[in-house]
Amino acid sequence: MAHPTQTAPAPLGRRERRKLEVRERIYLAAHALFDSKGFDATTVDEIASAADVAPATFFNHFQNKHALLEMMADGVIETLDDLTARHLAGSASSAERLRALIRSASDEIRPRRRVARLVLIEFIREAGPDQPSAYLDRILEPFAALIEEGQRAGDFRDDHDAAFLAQMAVGMLNSAIARWLSDPDSPVEQGLVEVTEFVLNVLQRPSEPT
């Protein structure tokens, strides 16, 4: 799960390097704390002292505590994009690609359950009643790409466009993931596999007029 703090690569003075370093330290400290204690139970002061900076410094780097979640959400999306790019490159069948993507995604999530939950909530919450959701669309993109690819190959139904099918697929996966995320002991692997197969079944079957 890449986090977005590593962007500009080359021409950085010691100054900016330090700054990024601090920012990164805060981010990582927060990530660890959120994952172990949850968001609400984690104090800005705790984050600051875990990152070994003064409390005031925190606000030099992040507008507020919530901004950390947004950054983590960005990280998730980046990771998802990376995974998709990797799996699209491969030459397996459409179904196998989707399976692989979902397997990879679940591998990413597993060790960071708690943060994953927070991010999932963030995805829904972020879409304030005023602006269209940014995350939700970006989450769909990778799936849509993969499905479109599958449609072109003739593997997936094309009575709906890829975006719509992606939304349906993500919806189904989501409900499985949501359940998993909230129940620490549930057998994700198994549940997720079942849902994945169902999704494939739905995607593959061409529609007949009702």
Partner DNA sequence: TCCAACTTTGGAGTAGACTCCAATTTCTCT
Partner DNA sequence: AGAGAAATTGGAGTCTACTCCAAAGTTGGA
Cβ closest to a second copy, residue 23 vs residue 125 = 125
Sole window of 63-71, 78-86, 93-101, 171-179 interacting with DNA (rule: CB under 7 A) = 63-71
- Is residue 168 involved in binding a second copy (CB under 8 A)? yes
**Could you tell me which of 119, 135, 125, 116 has the C-alpha nearest to residue 180?**
116
- Structure tokens given for 110: 């597993």
**Could you tell me which of 5, 140, 119 has the C-alpha nearest to residue 73?**
119
Displacement of CA 75 from its chain's centroid (Å):
7
Cβ closest to a second copy, residue 1 vs residue 173 = 173
- Is residue 57 involved in binding DNA (CB under 7 A)? yes
- Radius of gyration from C-alpha coordinates of the chain: 19
Residue 135 vs residues 71, 72, 185: alpha-carbon distances, Å: 12, 12, 28
- Is residue 65 involved in binding DNA (CB under 7 A)? yes
**Could you tell me which of 178, 52, 36, 206 has the C-alpha nearest to residue 111?**
36
- In the 8-state DSSP scheme, what is residue 10? S
| Number of residues in contact with DNA under rule CB under 7 A | 22
- Binding interface with DNA (CB under 7 A): 13-15, 18-19, 22, 42-45, 53-57, 59-61, 63-66
- Binding interface with a second copy (CB under 8 A): 38, 113-114, 117, 120-121, 124-125, 127-133, 136, 160, 164, 167-168, 170-176, 178-179, 181-184, 194-195, 197-198, 200-202, 204-205, 207-208, 210
